[in-house]
Structure 1
Amino acid sequence: MDAFFASVELLRYPQLKDLPVVIGGSRFTPQQEAALVQRWGSLADRPLAAFERLGGYVGRGVITTATYAARQFGVGSAMGLMKAARLCPQAILLPIDFARYRAYSQRFKEAILALAPVMEDRGVDEVYIDFTHAPGGQEAGGLALAQRLQAAILAATGLTCSIGVAPNKLLAKMASEFNKPRGIAIVWPHDLEAKIWPLPCRKINGIGPKANARLETLGITTIGQLAAYPAHKLVQHFGKATGAWLHRAAQGLDDRPVETHSEPVSMSRETTFDRDLHAVQDKAELGATFTWLCERVADDLQHAGYSGRTVGIKLRFSDFRSVTREMTVDYLLQDAATIRRLAGLCLRRAPLAQRIRLLGVRVGSLEEGAPPPEAAGADQPVAALRGVTPDLFGGL
């Protein structure tokens, strides 16, 4: 999907079309929406002067996404909002509304499945689609079906997308970025030298910053250079599995099927605070956030139909050092109260001398289905745990 979160927001605020807009920082709540509607009559009538500007932001939040107009200033996803404010202070800053994004995600995927039922869900804004046996999937090299998919998604959501069509997932992923926004790119095997090899190695999905830096030390900066590098030397530098994969990827080879169903390993939620928080001095704020994260993870589990046996926490401190703690129980759980209680026990085993930059909660060892009614904690409301949870963020 093209700048998905930002595009969804532009449906709500059409007056922001073609303006630099950044999504990030705080979360948009139903109460905020009700207040805005009461004041302006409709969200579409909210004047530009009433929107928060990025230049006035102070805090430690990060950008979730940005419109293409904002990206022209060098602003992009995962960038700190303070840094983005220096690059594009005139950009409009909107809070995140995950519930709305998930609803639109479901709608665009339903539109795809109506035309091409073999689809792999890759998150809120991306999918892989197998064109092989889909009606019209081989017509004009996939162009005809890609155009129908774009039209169906636009009709169902009012949103645009970009599609890459190729013999495998590796090349299709790369091709989907070629002509954004509203683009369709088709890559054939004979296009490898002209369209793929000139690209930087980072364009291969799976080559991260560390691997890219190691490749650069070998004088490898483009996919073509990687393709020409001897396979046995890649194995020497990166190990047997990774070296072999790098060689195959540079040749445009990928035999992974489109998976229509995959089991999640875990579900987690985390948040980065606008300022570093102290475990004692900011106990109330940390405790409220801790409970909120547990509630969100519980909601995710129940919505997806999973239960887990392992609860863990993640802390990142002011010096960017991270620690994790977890515990596994002999019963299934998916309710916020039990997650909160066990996460609190994990917290007691974590060092809390430094100020906290990030806090996260995770549930793993997942199984499909809800836990039996007799599972521990299943009948306890979250409110019953506030103030009595055995952790250092208690006293809510």
Structure 2
Amino acid sequence: MTEQGRQCGRWVLHLDMDAFFASVEQLTRPTLADRPVLVGGAGPRGVVAGASYQARVYGARSAMPMTQARRRCPQAVVLPPRFALYKTISEQVMAVLGEAAPIVEPVSLDEAFLEPPALAGADGSEVAAFAIALRAAVRERTGLPASVGAGSGKQLAKIASELAKPDGLRVVTPDEEREVMAALPVRALWGVGPVAEAGLRKLGVTTIGQLAAMDPREVTGLLGVAVGTELHRLARGIDDRPVAPRGAAKQISAETTFETDLTAMTAVHDAVARMTEAAHRRLVVDGRAARTVTVKARSADFTTASRSETTAVASTDLATLTAVAQRLARSAVPDGGVRLIGVSLSGLGESPPPALFDAVASSDGWVPVPVADVDAGVPIPGVDVDPSGTAGPPARPGPEGPLVAKGAPGSQGAPGPERPRAADGAPERPGVPAPERPGVADGAPCSTGVEPRRPWRAGDDVRHSEHGHGWVQGAGHGRVTVRFETRATGPGVAHTFAAADPALTTADPLDSWTLPAPSPDGVVET
């Protein structure tokens, strides 16, 4: 190593979980450990959210339409995403990184940057030893593999982790930077998309090394001063961007692309209620309150309409937010059906303390009412109050029957405390799966304690009173086949039951990952 390499003052690490969604499925469903797995929507509009390395061999990849991926890899097992499980494991990964460095910058659920102070001024071998220990800690905590890249800046660390995949480590010392980066395509740089790539190709520039050799004036003339200057610096290995925690989200949202267009307003209202509930779970977890509700609706011809409403009073009440979203949907949804519904909550602030006034839904919008009146059960114009004194949205009679917001008094399936499980802030774009069934926001099965799903679908987590935890391999014609296995059990056996068998109930996906606790005598209980 050169003197320059020994005196490197800065080391940034980038940890990236390998094929995260698919790896989680293979870990918790051991029968799939060596098989091609695709995670995402199985319907005609489904998109691959994750592909195992065994599926990638056949050309299947994330962001690809599921129909195309299945044509390329017909033997793949297709599973719905279980975002609650992915999020919980992601939190464990970030906790490990937080123990290794005081500041962690998450990029997504499965990757993050860190700049450990202990590595300042270290040489390559010390960095490698640190990264080896970090990968081992992640595997011990989660059971999953991770790749780590290290370099003098975030860009180089990201490139190094890509070179390390799968399940590897790559440390790029300063004296190796030019050699490593020179031959890489320009698309490997942050900020180079299809348009910039096409413009550079017209000039004969296809690699990072060629971009680094260009005259800065030529680069800025093609890409603009701000973008061109930054990309030229990155191409030459100059990257002093700090590792910093991500700022608080400005909005929280959830949306669904339906397998078939929704044409009935009752179905739209049900979907809006589910979207609002999904966004609300994250709102509560983050300790935030929302002033603005926005509903987005996309028709079959991809025309998109949105409607928003803002109140002076921030709210965390699910019934209030749902009622507003459903009212907005009536004017946002086009004639002829809707292929996508989204609900976002914005104007976020800290969850407010109890106040003299709260906002409740009425036919005219959000109405400030004294909290004392609600608690006392005093009737409020336009608002239904049940005998328990809880304010809820009014029933809206119409040709399709009264509409009651999910979670409001008199509704079925009012939500109780549960782990967050919805994807938030995800627009309809490549890489985000369409749900497997119309109106399901996150692909996760119902939580434990509710009525079992009838009929079952492939990928559901279930529990049998005799056989324990398992997952649905297939269902139809009144029968369901379940393979009973978890991370702790190893590959399990499959049994077929009547779909209505009372011994089968829905199960928490986390039970497939969490290892059983040791008994007091040190024996693991199964």
Whether the 8 Å CA contact 2:291–2:346 is kept in 1: the answer is: yes
Whether the 8 Å CA contact 1:2–1:180 is kept in 2: the answer is: yes
Task: Specify every segment of 5 or more residues in structure 1 that has no aligned partner in the other structure, as ranges.
Answer: 26-56
Paired residue for 1:23, among 32, 39, 48?
39
Whether the 8 Å CA contact 1:287–1:394 is kept in 2: the answer is: no
Whole-angstrom CA distance in 1 between matches of 2:206 and 2:332: 41
Whole-angstrom CA distance in 1 between matches of 2:394 and 2:69: 37
Report the counterpart of residue 376 of structure 1 in structure 2.
359
Report the counterpart of residue 91 of structure 1 in structure 2.
76
Report the counterpart of residue 156 of structure 2 in structure 1.
171
Q: Which has the higher contact order (CA 8 A, sep 6+)?
A: 2
Q: 1:83 to 1:376 in 2, by over 3 A?
A: same
Whole-angstrom CA distance in 1 between matches of 2:394 and 2:110: 36
Paired residue for 1:222, among 183, 198, 207?
207
Is 1:189 aligned to residue 174 of structure 2?
yes
Q: 1:338 to 1:190 in 2, by over 3 A?
A: farther
Is 1:311 aligned to residue 320 of structure 2?
no
Paired residue for 1:7, among 23, 34, 37?
23
Whole-angstrom CA distance in 1 between matches of 2:202 and 2:341: 35
Whole-angstrom CA distance in 1 between matches of 2:173 and 2:140: 29
Q: Shift in Å at residue 135 of structure 1?
A: 9.6
Q: 1:138 to 1:357 in 2, by over 3 A?
A: farther
Is 1:212 aligned to residue 197 of structure 2?
yes
Q: 1:246 to 1:346 in 2, by over 3 A?
A: farther
What do you get for the CA RMSD once the two structures are aligned? 2.9
Whole-angstrom CA distance in 2 between matches of 1:394 and 1:187: 64
Matched letter for residue 331 of structure 1: V
Q: Shift in Å at residue 19 of structure 1?
A: 0.6
Of Structure 1 and Structure 2, the greater helix share is in: 1
Q: 1:350 to 1:171 in 2, by over 3 A?
A: same
Whether the 8 Å CA contact 2:396–2:403 is kept in 1: the answer is: yes
Is 1:388 aligned to residue 371 of structure 2?
no
Cα-to-partner distance string for 1:55-97 (whole Å, 9 max, x where unaligned): xx54211111011000111111111111111111110011111
Q: Shift in Å at residue 183 of structure 1?
A: 0.9
Give aligned-pair identity as a percent: 37
Structure-2-length-normalised TM-score: 0.63
Whole-angstrom CA distance in 2 between matches of 1:220 and 1:353: 48
What is the DSSP-based 3-state SS (H/G/I as helix, E as strand, rest coil) of the residue aligned with 2:359? Answer: coil
Whole-angstrom CA distance in 2 between matches of 1:136 and 1:233: 36
Q: 1:246 to 1:136 in 2, by over 3 A?
A: closer
Q: 1:312 to 1:13 in 2, by over 3 A?
A: same
Matched letter for residue 327 of structure 1: E
Q: Whose radius of gyration is greater, 1 or 2?
A: 2
Q: 1:79 to 1:113 in 2, by over 3 A?
A: same
Q: 1:101 to 1:82 in 2, by over 3 A?
A: same
Q: Shift in Å at residue 142 of structure 1?
A: 1.1
What is the DSSP-based 3-state SS (H/G/I as helix, E as strand, rest coil) of the residue aligned with 2:45? Answer: coil
Report the counterpart of residue 340 of structure 2 in structure 1.
358
Q: Shift in Å at residue 363 of structure 1?
A: 1.5
Whole-angstrom CA distance in 2 between matches of 1:216 and 1:394: 60
Cα-to-partner distance string for 1:208-262 (whole Å, 9 max, x where unaligned): 3333333333433222222222222222232221121221221222222111352
Q: Shift in Å at residue 372 of structure 1?
A: 4.2
Whole-angstrom CA distance in 1 between matches of 2:157 and 2:401: 46
Report the counterpart of residue 199 of structure 1 in structure 2.
184
Matched letter for residue 396 of structure 2: V
Aligned residue pair count: 361
Of Structure 1 and Structure 2, the greater strand share is in: 2
Report the counterpart of residue 286 of structure 1 in structure 2.
268
Cα-to-partner distance string for 1:118-156 (whole Å, 9 max, x where unaligned): 211222111111123369976725111100111111111
Structure-1-length-normalised TM-score: 0.82
Deviates more, 1:226-235 or 1:157-166: 226-235
